[in-house]
Amino acid sequence: MRRLALLLTLTVAVQAQQPMGTVATHDALVSGGLEVHAERAVLVSNASITAYDHPAPIDLARGGQVLVCATSQFHLLRSGTGPSLLFALDRGAFELRTPSEPQDVILTPDLRFTFTTQGPLDLSLRVTPNGDTCVDNAGPNAPTLQLADVFSSATYRLLPGQHVLFEHGSLHEVVDRETSSCGCPAPVEPVAIAAATPGEPTTSSTAAAQHPFPAAVSQGLAPATLPDNSPPAGEKHTQVSAILAVGGNQPDSLTAAPPATAAAATVSTTPPPSPPGAHDIFHAIGHFFKKLFHPASDKPNP
């Protein structure tokens, strides 16, 4: 009975716990403490979100949104008490727009962000494979952030409206006038490319098959695949060949015939005519041997 009562107490406590937010299951791979209703995952605790080939918006229960950029890996956990949250980025980028809370925390593989003042967050954060960390704390009323190196005692104070780059994730290597975007790359409009089949119109799915995730790869969010020797999906290689014909009246000239079609082309195998005077030479040789072995046959008849 005591064990059953404890289990019921824990169940009620979990049911009473407010969700942190929701995300569409077709936008990201979601794991951790969650409940799935229709096509949305309700994030209850310790949630891990990996966006697919497009950004995955997380609607926060406390108000606001986290936009996890394409192919990025992100974690959402509770921090302290109340609606405060911990936003952690393993790789890639995210954009955070929400009113800040006193116990909010932001983590990257190298840095820890805490809040010294409060305000509306419009924060873009990106971590590249080599550790470069781009932070854009946009807005004149944005909160002031205190950054700490998780491996040392180094700190940095990030003011409202400040846009910086920490090279290799180091607080000692700061580009304080960074101009590149720290958030999700802008969507790329499909470009006109050759159709998979002649006469077939090019569609966005055809373009995606030939050029997957161009923005994510160019911005360092997704690894570039090494090209192989096979042609891209849907592309056909056409081989054109030509036959060289020999002119009968001009043995020293070569003329190019039209390109070969699908049917097998025939090539004339008739040998060229004998050079002039060949018949006379063979006739003279035959007459010589006849005169040598049958001298009487050459005598004139009486």
Mean pLDDT of 205-230: 49
Strand segments, DSSP code E, in the chain are: 21-24, 28-37, 40-51, 56-60, 65-68, 73-78, 85-99, 105-107, 111-115, 120-127, 133-137, 145-149, 155-158, 163-166, 174-175, 242-246, 254-259
Report the pLDDT value the prediction gives residue 287, as an integer from 0 to 100.
57
Residue range 51-99, pLDDT digits in tens: 999 999 999 999 999 999 999 999 999 998 899 999 999 999 999 999 9
pLDDT band of 102, cuts 50, 70, 90: very high
Report the pLDDT value the prediction gives residue 248, as an integer from 0 to 100.
46
pLDDT band of 281, cuts 50, 70, 90: low
149, exposed or middle or buried, with CB in 10 Å at 0-12, 13-18, 19+? Answer: middle
Mean pLDDT of 240-259: 44
Residue with tokens 């802008």: 186
- Has residue 252 got a pLDDT over 90? no
Tokens of 17: 């716990």
- Has residue 171 got a pLDDT over 70? yes
Q: Is the pTM of this model over 0.85?
A: no
Report the pLDDT value the prediction gives residue 133, as an integer from 0 to 100.
96
**Cα–Cα nearest to 66, from 83, 45, 88, 46:** 88
Report the pLDDT value the prediction gives residue 51, as an integer from 0 to 100.
97
Report the pLDDT value the prediction gives residue 177, as an integer from 0 to 100.
86
